[in-house]
Structure 1
Amino acid sequence: MLIGYARVSTADQDLALQTDALTKAGCEKVFTDKASGAKVDRPGLTEALDFVRAGDTLVIWKLDRLGRSIQGLIELAANLSARKIDFRSLTDGFDTATPSGRLLFHILASVAEMERELIKERTIAGLAAARARGGNGGGRKSVMTPDMLDTARKLLKAGDSPVKIAKLLQVGRSTFYRHFPANERTSVS
């Protein structure tokens, strides 16, 4: 069975072009959404995915109607493949029921995997470069300067409360507690 899915981004756009093409392609049932492709919650897509069964084909007019990211499309296509459901795009010539369609899917999946690996490599290289420059590579600098830490230690030793010290240093209590966990607050005095 061919099951269609059509989406437009806004309520004032018309679905007719897509639904007509899906019907002409032989879709027996067509589900629709009027929502941004960035939205995760699309009731029409959810219904379509719940409706399709093994042996069916989910048909769309164009790949971008299904989602905005290659990663999201690949995950969806992999989910459909695991459920033994084929996937076809009318205008992109993409059909996982054919050998060339499956090849294209695997190429896209490989490209997405490579992209994830490159992002990981760049992140690791950036952190290493930050550490080499003397940073910790772990984000922004702390608001607690070495002088503030010394002052806090002295005030703790004198018996002042963490809340009072945080207020005096003009930092949040969570910032203070991050620098002086409970075991350090008791060992200072």
Structure 2
Amino acid sequence: MTRYGYARVSTLKQDLTEQIDEITAKGVSKDNIFSEKMTGTKSNRPAWLNLMSIVKSGDEIVVTKLDRLGRSLQVILKEIDQLTAKNVKVTVGNMSFDRSTAVGKLMLNVMASFAEFERDMIVDRMQGARAYRRKTDPSYQEGRKRKLTPQMVDAMREYYQNHTQVQTAKAFNVSPRTVGNYMSKPKNY
């Protein structure tokens, strides 16, 4: 029997240290902890898929919270069902779920429903905040801030007249594709 840990955060800016420390405190070797920075709404997470490919009957996977396995009821139950079919135990915090009992199934469904509910509430709050900003702040723009200012684009256009797309990309610290995108657009940005 091997004990594994799985730690996940949703964005690159978040830190995995707290989850990893909690998992190691439960007796899992750091060498057996799989971690990644990726949204839980995706099921094709590389570290998770790697872990799923090596666990075998009798092994255990430890996570700090159920929503680390996924953010929707469907995804969480699918992952747990796959692990249960392999006879792999899942421990969440201080709880383990025995899907062979009615109480175990109920507890898992309730906890997974709350994980999905929490995700939905986060999305609702973010959408509400964006709608409020659009309504009250005329300068508000959604999405990532542009890396290039209009002045930089003008300079890039001028530079591009005497250089290749790759040379221009290197000079302005952007990808060649970005250069191509800007050069193919009319000058009204």
TM-score, normalised relative to structure 1 = 0.51
**CA-CA distance at 1:7 after TM superposition:** 0.2
Q: Point out 4+ residue stretches in structure 1 off by more than 6 angstroms.
A: none
**What is the aligned-residue identity percentage?**
34
Give, as a single letter, the amino acid of the residue that structure 2 aligns with 1:83.
K
Shift of 1:109: 4.8
Q: What is the aligned partner in structure 1 of residue 6 from structure 2?
A: 5
Mapped contact 1:37–1:67 kept (Cα < 8 A)? yes
Q: Please list every run of 5 or more consecutive structure 2 residues that lacks an aligned counterpart in the other structure.
A: 113-189
Describe the superposition over 1:143-180 as per-residue Cα deviations: whole angstroms up to 9, x where unpaired: xxxxxxxxxxxxxxxxxxxxxxxxxxxxxxxxxxxxxx
Tell me which amino acid in the other structure corresponds to 2:26.
A
Residues 38 and 98 of structure 1: CA distance in aligned 2, closer, same or farther (over 3 Å): closer
Which residues of structure 1 form unaligned runs of 5+?
113-189
- Cα distance in 1, alignment partners of residues 73 and 95 from structure 2: 14
Query: 2:85 and 2:27 mapped to 1: Cα distance?
Result: 24
Matches within 5 A, 1:3-152: 3-28=4-29, 29-90=32-93, 93-96=94-97, 103-106=103-106, 108-109=108-109
Give the secondary-structure state (helix, strand or coil) at the position aligned to 2:91. Answer: strand
TM-score normalised by the chain length of structure 2: 0.51
The root-mean-square deviation of aligned C-alpha atoms, in Å, is 2.6
| CA distance in structure 2 between the aligned counterparts of 1:44 and 1:9, rounded to whole angstroms | 13
- Larger radius of gyration between Structure 1 and Structure 2: 1
CA distance change for structure 1 residues 34 and 52 in 2, over 3 Å: closer, same or farther?
Answer: same
Distance 1:70 1:42, change over 3 A: same
